[in-house]
Amino acid sequence: MQRTNYSSGAKWEDIVGYSRAVKVGNTIEVTGTVAVNENNELVGGNSAYKQTRFILQKIEKVLAQAGASLKDVVRTRMFVTDISLWEEYGKAHGEFFEHIKPCTSMIEVKGLIAPEYLIEIEATAILTD
C-alpha cells in the first residue's frame, strides 16, 4: 500500500519527527492538533470553544488535502487541560460532527506542549468510496 505524509510546517514536526497526517490505503490518521496558525501563533485565546473550532477547521483542511472530508472521520480523540470546560469543547465538536457522529474520547491531561493550548485533537478517517 502507498503511504503519503502531509506536513503543515509546524515547528514541532521536524523536531519530534512526525507528520500532520498520514494516509495509508484508505485510512488517514491526523496527528494531535492544537490551535496554532501557520505563523505558530495561538488562535482562540483562552476560549475552549474557539480553540476547538479552529482545530477542527485545521483537521478538515488536511483531510481535504488527503482526498477526504469530515464525513469520513470515524474517531476523534480530544485531550483537554480542563475537563470542567467539556461543554465548550463539546459544543464546537458537535457543530462539526452533529450528523456524522464519530466515536470520540475526551480525556483530561496534565498539560499540552505549551500552557496556552487548552485542547489537542486527533482524528482517524476511513475512505469508503
21: domain CATH number is: 3.30.1330.40
Mean pLDDT for 13-31 is 94
Q: What is the pLDDT of residue 31?
A: 95
Split into its structural domains, the chain has a count of 1
Q: What is the mean pLDDT of the chain?
A: 95
Q: pTM (2 decimals)?
A: 0.95
Residue 38: per-residue pLDDT? 87
What are the backbone dihedrals phi and psi of residue 77, each rounded to the nearest 5 degrees, phi first? Answer: -130, 125
What pairs with residue 23 in β-bridges?
Answer: 4, 28
pLDDT for the residue numbered 40: 87
Q: Which residues pair with 21 in a beta bridge?
A: 6, 30
pLDDT band, residue 103 (cuts 50/70/90): very high
The predicted structure's pLDDT at residue 105:
98
pLDDT at 1 over 80: yes
The boundaries of the domain holding residue 11 are: 3-126
Per-residue pLDDT, averaged over 66-83, amounts to 98
Instruction: Give CA–CA dist 87/73, Å, rounded.
Output: 21
Q: Give yes or no for residue 36 having a pLDDT over 80.
A: yes
- The C-alpha atoms of residue 75 and residue 59 are separated, in whole angstroms, by 12
Q: Given phi > 0 = left and psi -120 to 50 = alpha, else beta, which region is 110?
A: alpha
| Residue 82 predicted with pLDDT over 80 | yes
The partner residues of 3 in beta bridges, in order of sequence, read 24
